[in-house]
Chain A
């Protein structure tokens, strides 16, 4: 591929032509990517969600929750995928585990934070009413924690879907297959697949935002979810 081929607007228009010409291929690759992302997110949820909620309920080991988020942010996804590749070999399992590790950070941190930070007076009042620990968790802490908890899941999901194309270098399949294979698909295909990846992760972001608004208890909606989208990040 030459630079002259690269740097012109026609390639960008060709990319849309590529999308129009290969809807089946792109849909199949997009589905592969969603399958991989779903599996990774499921694995991460299975591990991080109960752990984060339990630790938040007990107000213990805050260092673990904070540490995971810092480590998660600092670990380059490429390094993670490549490192797991050397241990687990090429294919679905390696990519699922690597992406799940990436997803663990935001889920665990937010699960911990959200339950840990529930208004202490509300919890005390519930205890005074004779609720058991489990009842407090189910009826007080979890409903109040929902917005922040779900933000963690949303961030993790978008991270996983956005990172999944990189897994193509380790046999991950998905739209990344097209992006890393310029020899077969030419630049128009690469850019076309990139546009699809972008649309896919934006779609996941918006869909999960919708679900998040849906599952948030009505009184909390306006104050938490909308403001949360443009929330500042903090360490």
Chain B
């Protein structure tokens, strides 16, 4: 073993590092350009996937529960208090507590993310469904609309602004919480940050670039939803 090592160079030649990176400069565009394809872009795509799945499932569940709570008013308060308690559970802890049941998988992350989305979306959708003024409902009943027709033609359209308001908060929060998933899975924009922090000297460029991407993603989603709201409910433009 030692004889074999002595034959060749003991320290292999890895070439020269990027002077900006080795010099620990504040921000290295060269690194971002070189590692966009193998680090940042995959992380960004995974982050979008994590968020989209959580919002999709969370929205369907929250919407169903909200319809139930809207129909049976007694169910609202318990679900509301339960979700307030659920929201106090730290994401990092929730991810780990789920591991014994669902393993170190994307499922674990999604279960936690869906739970948080639910907590945000449910009260907003319920409040939206309740926002129809009494005289409007009376008029609808007076016109002979059935309960279902009142829901689909009066209450739901009037709930759209509140639902989109809830979605905005849910998406922004989910994007933030999804960075914590990196403690569990090598996925999402949290992962490059996590790696950069673990180095003996934290690698600033990686932290800043992934962090800016996460914030930009949140801002872009929020702006997109504001656009959707303007298209769907032009009458509320002034209050938006």
Question: Given A78-B194, A201-B90, A231–B101 Cβ distance below 8 Å?
Answer: no
Q: Provide the residues of chain B in CB contact with A204, threshold 8 Å.
A: 88
Question: Given A79-B214, A82-B196, A82-B202, A202–B88 Cβ distance below 8 Å?
Answer: yes
Q: Is A187 an interface residue (CB 8 A)?
A: yes
A12 and B101: CB pair below 8 A? yes
Measured between C-beta atoms, what is the minimum distance from B9 to chain A in Å?
32
Q: Is the interface of B mostly helix, strand, loop or mixed?
A: helix
A82 and B124: CB pair below 8 A? no
Q: Is B67 an interface residue (CB 8 A)?
A: no
Given A83, A163, A231, which contacts B211 in the complex, CB threshold below 8 Å?
A83
B193 and A79: CB pair below 8 A? yes
Q: Which segment, of A1-9, A17-25, A117-125, A133-141, faces chain B?
A: A1-9
A7 and B103: CB pair below 8 A? yes
Q: Is B68 an interface residue (CB 8 A)?
A: no
List residues 49-106 of chain A with CB under 8 A from any CB of chain B: 73-79, 82-83, 85-86
Q: Which segment, of A39-47, A107-115, A165-173, A213-221, faces chain B?
A: A165-173
A232 and B127: CB pair below 8 A? yes
A230 and B218: CB pair below 8 A? no
Measured between C-beta atoms, what is the minimum distance from B170 to chain A in Å?
9
Q: Is B175 an interface residue (CB 8 A)?
A: yes
B89 and A201: CB pair below 8 A? yes
A9 and B104: CB pair below 8 A? no
CA distance in complex: A10, B176 (Å): 31
List residues 162-220 of chain A with CB under 8 A from any CB of chain B: 162-163, 165-166, 169-170, 176, 179-180, 187, 190-191, 193-195, 197-198, 201-202, 204-205
A73 and B176: CB pair below 8 A? yes
CA distance in complex: A6, B97 (Å): 11
CA distance in complex: A161, B88 (Å): 9
B190 and A230: CB pair below 8 A? no
Given B77, B103, B162, B173, which contacts A230 in the complex, CB threshold below 8 Å?
B77
Q: Provide the residues of chain A in CB contact with B84, threshold 8 Å.
A: 229-230
Q: Which residue of B lies closest to A90 (CB)?
A: B202
Q: Provide the residues of chain A in CB contact with B162, threshold 8 Å.
A: 232
Measured between C-beta atoms, what is the minimum distance from A200 to chain B in Å?
9
List residues 45-101 of chain B with CB under 8 A from any CB of chain A: 77, 80-81, 83-85, 88-97, 99-101
Q: Provide the residues of chain B in CB contact with A129, threshold 8 Å.
A: none
Given A83, A165, A194, A234, which contacts B97 in the complex, CB threshold below 8 Å?
A194
Q: Is A145 an interface residue (CB 8 A)?
A: no
Q: Is B232 an interface residue (CB 8 A)?
A: no
Q: Provide the residues of chain B in CB contact with A11, threshold 8 Å.
A: 99-100
Q: Provide the residues of chain B in CB contact with A9, threshold 8 Å.
A: 100-101
Measured between C-beta atoms, what is the minimum distance from A55 to chain B in Å?
22
A82 and B207: CB pair below 8 A? yes
Q: Provide the residues of chain A in CB contact with B97, threshold 8 Å.
A: 12, 191, 194-195, 198
Question: Given A6-B99, A169-B197, A230-B123, A201–B88 Cβ distance below 8 Å?
Answer: yes
B172 and A229: CB pair below 8 A? no
Q: Which residue of B lies closest to A178 (CB)?
A: B96
Given B93, B127, B179, which contacts A194 in the complex, CB threshold below 8 Å?
B93
Measured between C-beta atoms, what is the minimum distance from B136 to chain A in Å?
20
Q: Which residue of A lies closest to B192 (CB)?
A: A82
Q: Is B43 an interface residue (CB 8 A)?
A: no
Question: Given A83-B207, A169-B197, A233-B123, A191–B96 Cβ distance below 8 Å?
Answer: yes
Given A10, A77, A82, A201, which contacts B197 in the complex, CB threshold below 8 Å?
A82
Chain B residues close to A by CB (< 8 Å): 77, 80-81, 83-85, 88-97, 99-104, 120, 123-124, 126-127, 162, 165-166, 168-169, 172-173, 175-177, 179-180, 182-183, 190, 193-194, 196-198, 202, 204, 207-208, 210-211, 214-215, 218-219, 222
List 8 other contacts, CB 8 Å, given A82-B196, A163-B90, A197-B92. Answer: A74-B218, A79-B215, A82-B207, A166-B180, A169-B198, A230-B80, A230-B81, A232-B162
What 9 A-B pairs come out closest when comparing CB atoms? A230-B80, A162-B90, A7-B103, A79-B211, A194-B93, A12-B100, A194-B96, A76-B176, A232-B123
